[in-house]
Amino acid sequence: ELKVEQNPLFLSMQEGKNYTIYCNYSTTSDRLYWYRQDPGKSLESLFVLLSNGAVKQEGRLMASLDTKARLSTLHITAAVHDLSATYFCAVDTDKLIFGTGTRLQVFP
């Protein structure tokens, strides 16, 4: 059974700091997605990673994929309050399997 583990589950960080969210998965896949969810809202696609070594950046967020290590990272640079949300990774085999999410809170 495919397992997708994210850590940390909760992250409280100060504005201006850097941090990384990790997504480990247990089976072979070269397709991984990152989503953002604001409280009470739907999921918004952030990044689509389709090959080993893929790196995507958007603003203060950068995502990467290492299919050999079965690991994806979401790096946050100089966090701001607007980044407060829950972040999910999802691994694509014949269906999307989601991690449990990382709830990020950025405070002044």
Partner 1 sequence: EAQVTQNPRYLITVTGKKLTVTCSQNMNHEYMSWYRQDPGLGLRQIYYSMNVEVTDKGDVPEGYKVSRKEKRNFPLILESPSPNQTSLYFCASRNDRVTEAFFGQGTRLTVV
Q: Are 23 and 102 in contact (CB under 8 A)?
A: no
Rounded Cα gap, residues 25 and 90, in angstroms: 9
Q: Give the other-Cβ count within 10 Å of 83's Cβ.
A: 18
For 17, other C-beta atoms within 10 Å of its C-beta total 11
Nearer of residues 94 and 108 to partner 1, judged by Cβ: 94
Return the structure tokens found at 29: 């896949």
Nearer to partner 1, 76 or 89 (CB): 89
Which position among 74, 97, 104, 106 is part of the footprint of partner 1 (CB under 8 A)?
Answer: 97
Q: Which of residues 18-37 bind partner 1 (CB under 8 A)?
A: 31, 33
- Please identify which residue in 50, 55, 69, 78 interacts with partner 1, judged by CB under 8 A: 50
Identified binder of partner 1 from the candidate list 39, 42, 68, 108, rule CB under 8 A? 42
DSSP for 26-41, written as a single string: SS--S-EEEEEE-TTS
Interface residues toward partner 1, by CB under 8 A: 4, 31, 33, 41-45, 48, 50, 88, 90, 92, 94-101
